[in-house]
Structure 1
Amino acid sequence: MKIKVISTGKYVPSRVVSNADFEKTIDTSDEWIVTRTGIKRRHFVNENENVVDLAYNAAIDAIKKGHVDVNEIDLIIVATITNQVRTPSVANLVQARLGLNQKNVMTFDMNAACSGFVYALEVASSLLNSSYHKKALIIGSEHMSSIIDFTDRGTCILFGDGAGAMIVEKSQNKTDEVFFYNASKGDDEGILWINPIVKMDGKEVYKFATDIMPKAIIEVLNRANLRLEEIDLIIPHQANLRIIQSVSKSMNLPMDKFLVNIDEYGNTSSASIPILIDEYKEKNKENKKVLLVGFGGGFTWGAAILNL
């Protein structure tokens, strides 16, 4: 498959919650949080903001940056686990806010937790290459503060709110070939569940993540017939700095091969990879071959190789 990335965008709420803020309400400290996670701050929604607002604002950012005619968008996929209603989907509501209700647009949400954006990117790429769709808007949007147990110090300090977006279209250019590896297994032991709030066995999640991320990287490289040396950057899901450092060490890769912004945003689930992509693109305009890799509840995991 071949897709061209037209533009990226993001939206992060202006309300910043520091580690010191958590010290006031639970038994924790800035040193404890930073040492174990790498997180210094996270952003929570402002009053009256919700997951649809986050998604819409990220979409508008991508549309403006790419000078995209919104009427050309005919596919919208939102990766999220925090929709406040069962239906309509966040994607449906973003469609309405963009004024596309009278257009032939396909919209739906995907629930693949922190792997959601990579899953959505593969689905969008497949639809663009096998149907009449021309231009896709893909969003990872999460209102994680709405599902946090603020009395559980092991989980509440981990998450933040935000959204990232990407607009892509089908390409005929050989350099725009994309490769994917997405997979899952059922977590029937309750290691990482949201029902209705986050419950997690941190040690087991860490063990799973540090095992599956190198495997996902190797698998997608094999599918692309590429070597690690041919990848300019690895853009990992931002769950825990120690996980990324473990992957770096186990694969004998320097940490500067990995993009990291967990210190500022915490874990924003499906939004973490697209937010990180947009931050990178704002500062770097040259074309790079990147590898996306994520893991999340489900369990789900996935990787992708594309040009940015």
Structure 2
Amino acid sequence: MTILTVTLNAALDVTYEVEGADWNGVNRVGAVHRRAGGKGVNVARVLAALGHPVLLTGLTGGPTGALIEADLTAAGLPHSFSPVHAASRTTLAVTSSTGTALFNESGPAVDATEVTAFLERYDRLLRTGAEAVVISGSLPPGLSADFYASLCSRAGEAGVPTIVDADGEPLRHAPGGRPAILKPNAEELTRAVGTMDAVAGARALRTAGAGAVVVSRGADGLVAVTPDGEWTARMPYPVAGNPTGAGDASVAGLALGLVQGTPWPTRLRTAAALGAAAVATHVAGDIDHQVFESIRDQIQITPH
């Protein structure tokens, strides 16, 4: 049994490590990392690092798409992407001691024929051993804002629970598909429901149809509103590093808890620890196992 991750806007992620970015001058790059990315890809990398079987799907196209799939194959990550004619996107992260700047292309436009082909593949994969589906990231041009909700509904018809990590209109529509878990960050939640109160916003998304809502708040940890209770997971100390991919690592922890049926407090502790372990690395999709093990038991879970 595998966890299926869906990345409709897969990317070739390029990360530049610099001493300090001069936005009006020439910069010397200390190290360069290039590999397949996109939020669902990052989730799958973390799950695989924890020893859980994964299968990646989504859309790829052109020379960039070929590089994405080749990198996944080299990493030993099983995948079944649906092809599109336009080239997949590239993203750039510039990271230094002062922070990380992200430059994200919008992605390839998708036509109706390509959407139909993907949905046929998706339905087939749902019925061939998927125990849960993680649907995350941005939508490429050409897909409607309720597309994630539709994917959740299709998975539900196949008896497979879903987790959605999205922003904007796709997040606002997602509860209509009855996902098991929604995982926005604090800013995404505010944009979706118009409140900065994480608990109130999460409750609103649950009322709209989500089974549970987990809000990531960076160094402030997680807030969860679930059928079994409401909790805050607080970090014992801040972890310095690159926050890109931290939310994806937390989603991986939530997915593990979902398929293993672990109690919510344990699930939240694992998710928060994985987020911290991702911050401690240079590249999205990686985790520092030592940080994960050392911080997990120190995370405080407080009921509301």
TM-score > 0.5, shorter chain as reference: no
Interval containing the TM-score (normalised by the shorter chain): 0.3 to 0.5
TM-score by length of 2: 0.34
